[in-house]
Amino acid sequence: MSEESENNHIVLEARGVTKHFAVRRNARDLVARTRRTVHAVDDASLELRRGTVTALVGESGSGKSTVARLLAQLYPLTSGEIHLNGQPVKAGRGRSFRSYVRRVQLIFQDPFASLNPVHTVRYHLTRSLKIHDRAGNGEAELEQNLTALLNRVQLTPPHQYLDKFPHELSGGQRQRVAIARALGADPQVLLADEPVSMLDVSIRLGVLNLLKDLKDRLHLAILYITHDIASARYFADTTLVMYAGRIVEGGDSETVTQRPAHPYTQLLIASAPHPDRSGAEEEPEENGTGEPPSLIDPPAGCRFHPRCPQAMERCRTELPPRFDLADGQWAACWLYDGTGTARTDDHQKEAAK
């Protein structure tokens, strides 16, 4: 039971995190003295717990990768706070950044680009171990640590891989090396930004199962960023759905995928390929067409309202807060006003504006 409670410990938390990117001004902006910004992420709050996988699902351009980069402290925040083990952190550069990175590691989408083509696997892993002071004393210990890392990501026998260059490895093997490199820091949190979408379909599950195994054995808190909601159901304990820079729904993965509350999540699930539907000719009714809005000038109110089949007058003007539903599920949608209780969090102030 003690492990259970330990697993509920929140390792990394984002509170009302917002990121706006400035748009380069053109002549017209200079004359009109306007400053345009891309509202990449607005008021995102999430918790990563020890030993659990949290999935962040969204279309391209929804801001999900920006969230990962903000959590990795690669960008400064526009507003909001990031807490690591309950302490607010604001990593700058240099020493403080490095000590942050030691605990929060990021895995990128493209293992063909994230490994240096002129260096061997040994070099990549040694560097990670040395930078994070885990290389041990002397050659023998280093060798031992390297072998342990490769064993952990199931690249066995390790001596076969240590002196290989990235081009000699397949996509799946490269991604495993990238994961091993992240584990070299012995992190508490792993931020995985679409870790399998560049891999061949038959090997994707192998990598996901590896991450699952690492979560169980090393009690990592994993943020799994994906556009594939079916894989979120398979792999993640908790799922958050992001649309146009805002997190619109969250809850237990099974609940979110089986009983989606937000109309956007419903659209996403109805759109996913569904082999059982073939032949039966029962097309899902048109539930929302069109495309995500421009984030330079996002729609007022709920950002999904221009596409939402159930949009009400209120949706056009007022930003919906989080409404808590049963079983820990919540949705930012006015449909649930009255059925649940609105949270009056601090970061909902913007809603009032």
Single out the residue of 155, 183, 211, 229 in contact with another protein (rule: CB under 8 A). 229
CB of 278 to another protein, least distance (A): 5
**Assigned token pair, 32:** 């009109």
**Taking CB under 8 A as the criterion, which residues in 27-66 touch another protein?**
59-60
Ramachandran region, residue 141 (left: φ > 0; alpha: ψ -120 to 50; beta: rest): alpha
**Assigned token pair, 318:** 């007022």
Single out the residue of 5, 87, 137, 278 in contact with another protein (rule: CB under 8 A). 278
**Assigned token pair, 247:** 């997190």
Do 12 and 48 touch, CB atoms closer than 8 A? Answer: yes
Q: How far apart are the first and last CA of the chain?
A: 45
Q: Which is nearer to another protein, 59 or 143 (CB)?
A: 59
Single out the residue of 8, 79, 96, 271 in contact with another protein (rule: CB under 8 A). 271
CB of 327 to another protein, least distance (A): 16
**Taking CB under 8 A as the criterion, which residues in 291-330 touch another protein?**
291
Binding span for another protein by CB under 8 A among 3-11, 26-34, 35-43, 284-292: 284-292
If one asks whether residue 171 binds another protein (CB under 8 A), the answer comes out as yes
Single out the residue of 85, 234, 299, 351 in contact with another protein (rule: CB under 8 A). 234
CB of 11 to another protein, least distance (A): 25
Helical (H) or strand (E) element with 229: helix 229-235
CB of 28 to another protein, least distance (A): 17
Q: How far apart are CA 143 and CA 209, in angstroms?
A: 26
* Residue among 186, 193, 210, 190 at smallest CA distance from 53: 190
If one asks whether residue 269 binds another protein (CB under 8 A), the answer comes out as yes
Ramachandran region, residue 342 (left: φ > 0; alpha: ψ -120 to 50; beta: rest): beta
Q: How is residue 346 annotated by DSSP? A: G
Do 266 and 36 touch, CB atoms closer than 8 A? Answer: no
Binding span for another protein by CB under 8 A among 42-50, 95-103, 130-138, 265-273: 265-273
Which residues of the shown chain bind another protein in the complex (CB under 8 A)?
Answer: 59-60, 170-173, 200-206, 209, 227, 229-231, 233-235, 254, 257-258, 267-279, 283, 288-289, 291
